[in-house]
Structures are given as C-alpha cells and as structure tokens.
Structure 1
Amino acid sequence: MATQLEREFKCSEAEWTARLELAACYRIFDMLGWSESIYNHISVRVPDEEGAFLLNPYGLLWSEVTASNLVKIDIDGNKLDGSTFPVNKAGFTQHSYFHRHLDWAHAIVHTHTPDTMAVCCTEEGLTPTNFYSCFFEGCIGYHDFEGITVRAEEGERLLRNLGNGRQVLMLRNHGPVVLGRTLPEMFFLYYMLQRACEIQVKTRAAGTPIVVPEEVIAQHQRDRESVALPGGFGKADFEAWVRKLDKVDRSWRD
C-alpha cells in the first residue's frame, strides 16, 4: 500500500521503491566514507519508464539525499519531476550514455575515494594480489583520462573501453565506474572493488605483493557462487546495510 508521502509525491509505486533504494544507497556510501562532498553520482533507472533515471540533486551532500529530493531526468537531460535542483553535468554525461546503450545497466556509480583513485592512477591498475582483486581479474576495462567527463562525444570511448560483459571501468587518473543489473549487485560489486583497492594500496606500502597464479584465480572466481545467499548477488548485503542505516538515521525515507 502506498505511503502518505508516496501519494503526495505523485509517482508510481515502482518509482517510489526505486527512490527509496537509491536514497538508501547514497546514505550507506556516505556512512562508509565513500562520498566526496557534493560531487560524484549514483543513478538508477526508473522502472517501466523508457529512458528515465534518478540522480542525486547537485549541491547536496550525500547525507542529505532523500527519496523525494532525487532528480528524475531522461537520457537527453530533461528534468521530468519538476525538481528545482540542478544535476551534475559530469554525472549526467557519463550515466546517460551507459543507460542509453546498455539495457542491462540498471544502477551505476562513480566515485573518487582515495584508494580507488590511487589504483586508477597506476600503470598496472588493479592486480590479482588479494582475495577481492582476484574476483575482478579479466573483468575490468580501462579508459584514459580526458579531463572532466562533460563532453558527450567521450561517451562512445567510455562504452568501447568498458567492453562486452564487463561491469567495471577504471577511469585512469580519475576513479572507477561500476554498473549493475540491480542496485544491490552494483553496491556489492563496488564494496568488493573498494576493498580490493584498499588492500592493494596497503600491500604496496608493506612490501612486495604476491601475484596469485591464473589457475587459482579461475577456481576462486568459479567458487564465488557456492557461497552466495539466495535472492541475487548483493541483495542480502545491501539489506543488512539498510538495517544498520535505519538504526542511525531514517530520514532518507522522506
């Protein structure tokens, strides 16, 4: 049954559910220290609406994002919900291109966390030297730095460098982009990538990294599904963090 706020907001039940999920994601990222002032962006497609997606209101901290203040735009940049907030042009340019051309990309995140950026700034990128990074071996694309992503023509190169079947694009000298078929999938892929980068940076400071053999990496990737919980990749993890978020602050539901 629709809540009073949902009725007042005048959106479909499916859109309100997407808004709640995305607002929670922003707050969880902020709680985990993965936000960057008013910058960076997470987007989600609006269910049952061709070409529409939700993005954070530019100018607000991620700790201020709520279900109702997310901005609904189309892939041409037109606001669809009458929001008075602007959207970050860099966020729109990047996300709209992926949403337009990848029908499976439901949720997309781009961040500037120090550890993920540090790995993006190295020649070799992410290396198979820890438990988490081995999951990503052979599954990451790399895109050379072209400055702030505000020019539409860069989108073609972003898509080409992502490549078929990949869900992570490391923007060199910049930061990662992670795409998911669901928001929980995107969240947990990012969680694993963040961990992989944190450990790689610390390992480099501690000594010489040990590279995992290819046959062990292959087995490691195959065995991932054997420890997965029901409901889809990342679902249980995301729900657990939502429970923790609700104990701290429930204002994201507004």
Structure 2
Amino acid sequence: MAHDLVLPSGRDIFYGDLDSAEIIEARIDLAASLRMAARLGLSEGICNHFSALVPGHPKLFLVNPYGLAFEEVTAASLLICDFEGHVIAGDGMPEATAFYIHARLHLHKATAVAAFHTHMPNATALAMIEGQPLAWAGQTALKFYGRVAVDEHFNGLALDTSEGDRIAAAMGDADIVFLKNHGVMVTAPSIAEAWDDLYYLERAAEVQLKAMSSGRPLKIVPKAIAEKTARQMREGNAQSARMHLDSVRRVLGDE
C-alpha cells in the first residue's frame, strides 16, 4: 500500500532557526490533528499524511514520517522537508506519495499552507461512486459548497512529481478534492482550518451515506439557500477552527 522513499539529506543546508516558538506551535497543532484523526478512525495503518508549511520558511514543510501510525506521532517526530526532496530535520523519511503529492501542492497552491490527505471511510466511500460526491442535502455539507473539486482520473500511486502536479491542477481554486477511487485531500490556510474541514467533511459524508442507505430520495437544499448558508458558515471560520483545534489539544492532553 505504501512505498518507502529514499531522499537525500539536507541537514548540511542552513535554514536558520527551525525551533522558534511559532514552529513549535505548528508542530504541536499538526501532531494533535494526526492523533485525533486516529482516535476518530480517520487514519489507515501507517499510510496517509498531513503536512504544513513551516512558519517563516515558505519553502519547507512539516510532514509525518513513514512508519508511524497517526496515534504515534508527536510534535518532535515530525519531519521538515524541502520541495526538492531533502529531509532538513527529523529522523526518517516521508512516505513516497506524501512527498510527491504534498510538496507539489505546497509549491503550486498558495492557499495550501496545510494539506491533509486521508482515506477516511465515509468521504472515501463517496469518492468511490459515480457523480458528484456531496449531495448538498445536509447543513454540515454546506460548509463545503463551492469549495470542492473532483479528480476523476485515478492513475495509481503518486510516485513522481508529475502526478502531484496533476492533482494540484485538478484542485484548481478549490480547497478540497475528492480523488476518485482513492480518498480526499483537504487544503487550508492554516493547520486549524485544515483540521476543522477534515473533521466536518467526514461528518457530512457519514450522514449523507446514512440518508442514502434509507432508499428514500434526498431533499436537496435549493441553490440560493445553499450559497447563502455557505457564506454564513465561512464567516468567522478561522476563529472557530482555531477554537476547535484548541479543544482537540485539551482533550488529548499529554498523549
């Protein structure tokens, strides 16, 4: 399922202070997101990956190392990599598809400060069916109205930069992409917003699948109301997401 990646070491490249208070906070946020994702059943073995640009270093990104389950990841165990494939700090290597997808997203997509990729069960189930994944029938789903792209072209594992470039292009200006036959990618301008979107995306997918399983027609929200609700839900979203991730950190404590 996953492939190891042999990258050159970049530890002899000087990038300045990589232990600032802001970077430490980013490490804590990213590790907390990974561990809570595991607690909620959103991870898959030692596969899947979360990344975020290193504060103050827009050409470096944090990512979980290959070989650790989400619940094992700590702030200190996260790797720092550059876009050329050097591991700048940390022990281990990223999983191959983590590097080739995430590095290219961070490189090409200015709003992708954070990029979370999972095969979380309900959203991935919607990525496996024909047509648009979200039906815009539930309030939670409307958080994502106008923000979702669909990549219809599954090409196997992303084991080169061209596949990462293709996925980035498929996303366009969207924040979330459903990768058909694969999973989902959530990008956001902060780790907290990526976590918040990931959590609510899975909840929206879960209730939609439950409704679909009834065999009764879904009651779709009219377009004008969906657009209005989406705007309402985006107001104050960054602050709400920050509070959401702070609550996750409190719940996790010192795990």
**In which range does the TM-score fall when normalised by the shorter chain?**
0.7 to 0.9
Structure 2 residue 59 is matched with structure 1 residue 51: yes
Match of 2:250 in 1: 243
Q: 1:225: Cα distance to partner?
A: 4.6
Structure 2 residue 97 is matched with structure 1 residue 93: no
The counterpart of 2:113, out of the listed 81, 106, 119, is 106
C-alpha separation in 2, matches of 1:30 and 1:106: 22
Structure 2 residue 191 is matched with structure 1 residue 151: no
Q: 1:242: Cα distance to partner?
A: 1.2
Q: Calculate the TM-score normalised by the size of structure 1.
A: 0.87
Structure 2 residue 130 is matched with structure 1 residue 115: no
Q: Calculate the TM-score normalised by the size of structure 2.
A: 0.87
C-alpha separation in 2, matches of 1:198 and 1:118: 9
> Gaps spanning 5+ residues in structure 2: where?
1-16
Match of 2:6 in 1: none
Structure 2 residue 232 is matched with structure 1 residue 223: yes
C-alpha separation in 1, matches of 2:66 and 2:168: 24
AA matched with 2:22: A
- Comparing 106-115 with 150-159, greater Cα deviation is found at 150-159
C-alpha separation in 2, matches of 1:152 and 1:34: 26
The counterpart of 2:201, out of the listed 193, 205, 212, is 193
Match of 2:135 in 1: 127
Q: 1:34: Cα distance to partner?
A: 0.9
Identity, % of aligned positions: 30
What RMSD, in angstroms, separates the aligned Cα atoms of the two structures?
1.8
Contact 1:168-1:177 within 8 A present in 2 as well: yes
AA matched with 1:66: T
Structure 2 residue 74 is matched with structure 1 residue 66: yes
Contact 2:101-2:165 within 8 A present in 1 as well: no
Go from structure 1 to structure 2 and tell me whether the alpha carbon gap of 1:10 and 1:77 turns closer, same or farther (over 3 Å shift). Answer: closer
Match of 1:161 in 2: 170
- Secondary structure at 2:136 match in 1: coil
- Comparing 108-117 with 137-146, greater Cα deviation is found at 137-146
- Comparing 182-191 with 128-137, greater Cα deviation is found at 128-137
Match of 1:5 in 2: none
C-alpha separation in 2, matches of 1:56 and 1:15: 15
C-alpha separation in 2, matches of 1:224 and 1:86: 38
Contact 1:45-1:106 within 8 A present in 2 as well: yes
AA matched with 2:229: H
Go from structure 1 to structure 2 and tell me whether the alpha carbon gap of 1:139 and 1:199 turns closer, same or farther (over 3 Å shift). Answer: same
Structure 2 residue 38 is matched with structure 1 residue 36: no
Structure 2 residue 173 is matched with structure 1 residue 173: no
> Gaps spanning 5+ residues in structure 1: where?
1-8
Go from structure 1 to structure 2 and tell me whether the alpha carbon gap of 1:188 and 1:79 turns closer, same or farther (over 3 Å shift). Answer: same
Q: 1:50: Cα distance to partner?
A: 3.4
- Secondary structure at 1:97 match in 2: helix
The counterpart of 1:140, out of the listed 142, 148, 153, is 148
Go from structure 1 to structure 2 and tell me whether the alpha carbon gap of 1:174 and 1:66 turns closer, same or farther (over 3 Å shift). Answer: same
